Amino acid sequence: MSALIIGGTGTTGRLLAPLLPGARIGTRKPLHDNHVRFDWDDPATFDGAVDGVDRVYLIPPVGVADPAPAVESFLSRARHVRRVVLLSSSAVPESTTGMGALPALVRSMPEWAVLRPSWFMQNFTGDHVVAAGVRDGEIVTATGDGRVAFIDAADIAAVAARALTDPLPHNTDHLITGPQALSYAEAAAVITEVTGRPVRHRSVSTEELTERLATGLPREFATILARLDEDIRGGAEDRVTSTVEDVTGRPARSFRDFVSRTSTG
Ligand SMILES: NC(=O)c1ccc[n+]([C@@H]2O[C@H](COP(=O)([O-])OP(=O)(O)OC[C@H]3O[C@@H](n4cnc5c(N)ncnc54)[C@H](OP(=O)(O)O)[C@@H]3O)[C@@H](O)[C@H]2O)c1
């Protein structure tokens, strides 16, 4: 087995890499022997990255409103690849263009799985806008009291590893959530309790959030993200699945456990 992990330096990919010894990591800036140059914006890198590979973990172009043309072009050069596992999202319905068009492309491969994780717990750490809110003591969203069953990226990586290596292909969509749906106010309260640092949540309108996000992102993408918050406000993410336990044999990590672990390093 020889795997290519696109986004192998990113949130889920870097947690998946240790679970797939010998995997090749696609990155725009190769630094190590197991790295290969891969850039969604440079199709000339596709052939070299996928040469000799029989399975691919596919993170689509990040922050792009319509990643389908690039993914279609990549898959057309990856016809020798047996299995593709796509990282999609629970928040993205199937459609003919945009992110929602990607599952249909991947299902054309001989073996496949589509991962549909809920929102990442890792958004509360690192560079994400929610993490900046945690540092400022105020998380700003347009989600109102809507709940999200936040998922640890390590649990997504564990499901991805099984989807890539199980002898029988999964050939299915996996809706992946954490064990409990929380509003952002409830998540902020957990952070406050566990870390002792006061963090609160303020909900704004979809329009106000779009304006805030558009200061750092292309407006088209800011609009998409703000609308996803609106969906959360309407209850779209208020659901819990047993996928992590069903696929890996162990339960998904709770948000409290995640915060305890990250706040103590
Ligand atoms: N955040 C969430 O709550 C959430 C929830 C559900 C689904 N998702 C999905 O998760 C995916 C990743 O989200 P994330 O924010 O956590 O990002 P991430 O995985 O940390 O993304 C960064 C990764 O993408 C690679 N990358 C960036 N631009 C690239 C390019 N032009 N060509 C090749 N590789 C490139 C980076 O590699 P190098 O810098 O090394 O090149 C890095 O490995 C997205 O598709 C998103 O829809 C996210």
Span 45-66, pLDDT tens digits: 999 999 999 999 999 998 787 8
* Residue 75 pLDDT greater than 80, yes or no: yes
Ligand 1: centre distance to CA 181 (Å): 24
Instruction: Please tell me if the CB atom of residue 39 comes closer than 6 angstroms to any atom of ligand 1.
Output: yes
Question: Using CA positions, which residue lies closest to atom 26 of ligand 1?
Answer: 7
pLDDT of residue 63: 79
Neighbour-count burial for 97-115, b at 16+ CB within 10 Å, e otherwise: eebebbbebbeebebbbbb
Report pLDDT for 62.
Answer: 87
pLDDT of the residue at 88: 97
Which pTM value belongs to this model?
Answer: 0.96
Tokens of 15: 């947690």
Q: Whose CA is nearest to atom 5 of ligand 1?
A: 119
Per-residue pLDDT, averaged over 61-90, amounts to 94
Model confidence over 16-38: pLDDT tens digits?
999 999 999 999 999 999 999 99
Please tell me if the CB atom of residue 57 comes closer than 6 angstroms to any atom of ligand 1: no
pLDDT interval class at 1 (50, 70, 90) = confident
Over residues 139-196, the pLDDT tens digits come to 999 999 999 999 999 999 999 999 999 999 999 999 999 999 999 999 999 999 999 9
- Can you give the pLDDT at residue 120? 98
Using pLDDT thresholds of 50, 70 and 90, give the confidence band for residue 264.
Answer: low
Residue 126: what pLDDT?
86
pLDDT above 70 coverage of the chain, percent = 99
- Give the 3-state DSSP-derived string for the chain, with helices as H, strands as E and coil as C: CCEEEECCCCCCHHHHHHHCCCCEEEECCCCCCCEEECCCCCHHHHHHHHCCCCEEEECCCCCCCCCHHHHHHHHHCCCCCCEEEEECCCCCCCCCCCHHHHHHHHCCCCEEEEEEECCEHHHHCCCCHHHHHHHHCEEEECCCCCEECCECHHHHHHHHHHHHHCCCCCCEEEEECCCCCEEHHHHHHHHHHHHCCCCEEEECCHHHHHHHHCCCCCHHHHHHHHHHHHHHHCCCCCCCCCHHHHHHCCCCCCHHHHHHHHHCC
pLDDT of res. 159: 99
Which atom of ligand 1 is found nearest the CA of 60? 45
